[in-house]
Structures are given as structure tokens and as C-alpha cells.
Amino acid sequence: MTSTTVPVGRTPILDREAPLPQPRPSSSLPLILGIGLCLVPLVLLIIWQPPFVESLRRQIEQRFPGPWPLSRIAFVAVISILIGFAITAAHELSHLLVGVCVGFRCCSMFLGPLQFNAPFRISLNPDPRSWWHGGVTLVPVKTDRLQAAAMVFAGPAVNLLSGLVVLLLPYEKGVLSWLFIAASLLAGVIELVLPIRGPTFVFDGRRIWMLLCDPKRGDRWLAVLRLIADARDGVSPESMSADLLAQATAIRDESADTVIAHAFAYSAAFHQRHDAEAAQMLEACLQSIGHATPAMCEGLMSDAAVFQARRRKRTDLAEQWLAAIPVTTPHRWFRSRAEAAILEARGDVADALGKLADVEAALLALPRNHQRDNLLRLLGKWKAELTEAPPSAR
């Protein structure tokens, strides 16, 4: 795994002297593995169980005699989806239960289109791109790397265990049982044996290896999880733990962890008015932006525009960053805050306040939580700085 460094005092990407690395295209690997999870078990069963095809034909004829209309095909498809949903639910619930037992705190979990937020709130998953799988957000409270590895291992371990239990149970297995067995075993093997890392995701096997064999990156991941939890709990950027920020930014490599860690460090330094440090942290984010989600990419470009306008008074560079933010985006307030910073730097306080009002309206439309309230608090602080500053300082 390669590491990158930012030259001290130099911010070539932030200053538009070097091109912004292009975000990596979304990996098709998760989709391929998801399809494989459905198709490979059939292939394995055909090889592993020679009479499987004949048995499958007889069972289909017995249970579904006659022609196959669209409704019957849809029914079988739904049953297959439910099997996949059950395997995913077992995987994520195992992460959750073992995590809580070893010292993690659960913030949220999603299973397909369903989102579960602590303590007992159920809603639709806001990211439709993740409807085909599941995930759980756990926060380490008093947890070491070994306990964290146990939490990560629990997911694929339960997939393997459930597949083996159903396999060994003494009953005549039908098509659905064999599909569940093969898909469960395949899911466990894929997560454990393939140490895969994509632009924005890491398979359990690689995460376990990192926790057990790479202490610095393991500690960084745990620190990032704690920072995410603090942000969700409403801790302001300037009040973030300095020790956690130092631990999270101790390593710079090509990973999503680098982007998230340095984004937290940038926000803390920006609001503490440590401008030189903030610039270095933001530069590190921009160097690894290929591992950020589309929303985070837009947020970082908005941060770059705001920093150049509000801290360096470089409206020319801020306008270049504003132009880089997509015009058609569900996160329109990223552009509005950049526009407000540019107007402020030009001394147009009234129009800047108008843009901040647009940002406030967009934030108020988001689901209410501590994180949204924190953003509104920071926005209020910005508005107060505009209205209270003497004309000569504007």
C-alpha cells in the first residue's frame, strides 16, 4: 500500500496549480459479487450434487405444475431475494451483536431499503445505490484492535456457520435449502478470503488483516469511527479531540480513511483559525479525493472555495472551485455556501447573507439530528461574523 505526503507549506491542488485527481469510477466489483452470490451457488450445486439438476426439475414440476406465467417467475425471484436478504441480515446483525458485546455502540444499520437509527427509528435508506446490500455503523467506546477484529470477523463467521448448520441438519433438503447453504458459504468465503478494498469500501478479510497486522492503520480506523460518532452526537469541529485527530491523520495513503480523517482535521483547524494547518489537511483530502463518495467530493470542493475566499481572499481561485462543483446536484447548498464565501470576500455582505439563507433552508429540509443541528450552529456563527464585523474588516 503506497503512502503520499503533502509538501510542507505547499498546497498545489488547493491553489489550482495541479489538477484535481479524478474520482475513481464506481467499482463494479460489488455488483459482480452480488450477482455471483446468486448464480455461483447454482453452478456449485450442479458440480457438487450431480443429481441436483434432475432433483431441481422434479421439485419444480411438483410444486409448480403447468406453465410458468410472469406471476410465478416473479414469485420465485422474490423468494431468491428474501434468501439474500436473510443472509445479509444475519451478517450485519452478527457484526452488531458481537460489537456491542466487546464494547462498540450502535449508531445505525441498514438492510436493503430499510434504515434503522438508534434508538428505535426506522426509515428508508437515503442512498438507493446501497439497496442491494447492508451495513452497520458501530462506534468503539473502549475497544482495542483485537476486539474490533472479533466484531468484523463475526459477520462472515455467521454466514459460514449458518450454511454449515443447515447443511448438517438431518432433513431432506429442497432447492431453497441448497441455495441458502451455497449462498451463505460463498458469502462468508468471499468476505474472509478475498482481502479486497475498493474506492469507498473494504471487505471484512482486509479489515481483519489491517487490525491484526497493521497497528497504525487499525488505530486510524478506530479513531475515524470515534470522530464520526462525535460528529453525529453534535460535537463541534473546534471541540474535536486533538488526540483522536492526531491518531486519525498519522497515516496518509490512498484510502477513504485518509479522506475522512483529514476532512475532520481540516474542519477543526479551519474553525480554530489555524489556517496553515487547515490548508495542509485540505490538500491531503484533495490528493486522495478519488476514494471519496460523490457527495464528499462536492463537499471538499465547496470547502476549497470557502477556504480560498474566506481565509486567503483569493476569489479567483474560489470561483474556479465553484465552477468545479456540479450544477445539477442534490446537494445544492454546497454551491450556495461557496457563493456566499465569494460574495463575503468581495464585501457584498447582503447578498452573502442571502446565500447563507439558502444554505439554512436546505439544511432545515434535512432529517433532524445532532449533525444537522451542528451544521446550523456553524452557519449561525458565520452569519453572526458577517453582521457584526465592522465595514473595514469586510
Q: Over the chain (394 residues), what is each successive 10-residue block's mean pLDDT?
A: 54 93 57 52 55 59 63 71 86 92 84 74 66 77 86 93 91 77 84 64 84 92 90 88 95 89 96 95 92 88 97 96 90 94 95 95 83 89 85 52
CB 356 within 8 A of CB 335: no
Which amino acid makes up residue 286?
Answer: L
* pLDDT value, residue 50: 53
Query: Which pLDDT score, from 0 to 100, does residue 136 have?
Result: 83
Indicate yes or no: pTM above 0.85.
no
- Output DSSP code: residue 202: B
Do the beta carbons of residue 114 and residue 122 sit within 8 Å? Answer: yes
- What is the reported pLDDT for 6? 47
- Here the cell at position 69 is 406465467
Q: Are strands 104-111 and 121-124 parallel, antiparallel or unpaired?
A: unpaired
pLDDT value of residue 2: 45
Task: Break the chain into its structural domains and give their ranges.
Answer: 30-195, 293-394
pLDDT at 195: 56
- Give the span between the Cα atoms of 208 and 12, in whole angstroms: 35
Nine cell digits for residue 221? 480506523
Residue 125 to residues 72, 130, 203, 331, 333, Cα–Cα distance (Å): 29, 8, 21, 17, 21
